[in-house]
Amino acid sequence: MRVFLITLSKVFREFWRGLRHWCGDSAYETYLASASRRPELKPLPPAEFYVDQLNRKYSRPNRCC
Protein backbone atom coordinates (compact mmCIF):
# COMPACT_ATOMS: atom_id res chain seq x y z
CA MET A 1 0.00 0.00 0.00
CA ARG A 2 2.84 2.37 0.84
CA VAL A 3 4.50 1.83 -2.54
CA PHE A 4 1.18 2.56 -4.24
CA LEU A 5 0.79 5.84 -2.35
CA ILE A 6 4.34 6.92 -3.15
CA THR A 7 3.82 6.11 -6.83
CA LEU A 8 0.47 7.90 -6.86
CA SER A 9 2.08 10.93 -5.24
CA LYS A 10 4.80 11.01 -7.92
CA VAL A 11 2.25 10.68 -10.72
CA PHE A 12 0.12 13.47 -9.28
CA ARG A 13 3.19 15.71 -8.81
CA GLU A 14 4.24 15.21 -12.44
CA PHE A 15 0.68 15.78 -13.63
CA TRP A 16 0.47 19.02 -11.64
CA ARG A 17 3.85 20.20 -12.96
CA GLY A 18 2.76 19.46 -16.53
CA LEU A 19 -0.56 21.24 -16.05
CA ARG A 20 1.17 24.34 -14.63
CA HIS A 21 3.57 24.36 -17.58
CA TRP A 22 0.76 23.89 -20.12
CA CYS A 23 -1.37 26.75 -18.77
CA GLY A 24 1.60 29.11 -18.32
CA ASP A 25 1.44 29.28 -14.54
CA SER A 26 5.10 28.26 -14.22
CA ALA A 27 6.35 30.77 -16.80
CA TYR A 28 8.08 32.97 -14.23
CA GLU A 29 9.90 30.03 -12.61
CA THR A 30 11.04 28.90 -16.07
CA TYR A 31 12.16 32.45 -16.84
CA LEU A 32 14.17 32.65 -13.60
CA ALA A 33 15.86 29.33 -14.31
CA SER A 34 16.79 30.56 -17.78
CA ALA A 35 17.95 33.95 -16.47
CA SER A 36 20.17 32.30 -13.87
CA ARG A 37 22.23 30.78 -16.68
CA ARG A 38 22.86 34.27 -18.13
CA PRO A 39 24.56 36.36 -15.43
CA GLU A 40 24.77 39.46 -17.64
CA LEU A 41 20.96 39.86 -17.51
CA LYS A 42 19.17 41.08 -14.41
CA PRO A 43 15.88 39.17 -14.01
CA LEU A 44 12.65 41.14 -14.04
CA PRO A 45 10.45 41.22 -10.95
CA PRO A 46 7.28 39.09 -11.29
CA ALA A 47 4.93 42.01 -11.99
CA GLU A 48 7.13 43.41 -14.76
CA PHE A 49 7.61 39.93 -16.22
CA TYR A 50 3.86 39.35 -16.54
CA VAL A 51 3.26 42.84 -18.00
CA ASP A 52 6.02 42.21 -20.54
CA GLN A 53 4.57 38.79 -21.34
CA LEU A 54 1.11 40.29 -21.92
CA ASN A 55 2.55 43.07 -24.09
CA ARG A 56 4.39 40.51 -26.25
CA LYS A 57 1.27 38.38 -26.54
CA TYR A 58 -1.15 41.16 -27.53
CA SER A 59 1.11 43.52 -29.48
CA ARG A 60 1.23 41.25 -32.54
CA PRO A 61 -1.43 41.59 -35.24
CA ASN A 62 -4.39 39.37 -34.69
CA ARG A 63 -5.77 37.29 -37.56
CA CYS A 64 -9.29 37.60 -36.24
CA CYS A 65 -11.62 40.35 -37.48
**Global pTM?**
0.67
Confidence of residue 24 (pLDDT cuts 50, 70, 90): confident
> In terms of C-beta density within 10 A (0-12 exposed, 13-18 middle, 19 or more buried), how is residue 38 classed?
exposed
Q: Is residue 52 part of a domain?
A: yes
Structural domain span for residue 21: 2-58
The tally of domains found in the chain comes to 1
pLDDT in tens, 38-58: 888 889 999 999 999 999 888
d(CA 13, CA 31): 21
The secondary structure of the chain as a DSSP string is -HHHHHHHHHHHHHHHHHHHHHHTTTHHHHHHHHHHT-TTSPPPPHHHHHHHHHHHHHSSPPS--
Is 40 domain-assigned?
A: yes
Answer yes or no: is 64 within a domain. no
> 63 in a domain, yes or no?
no
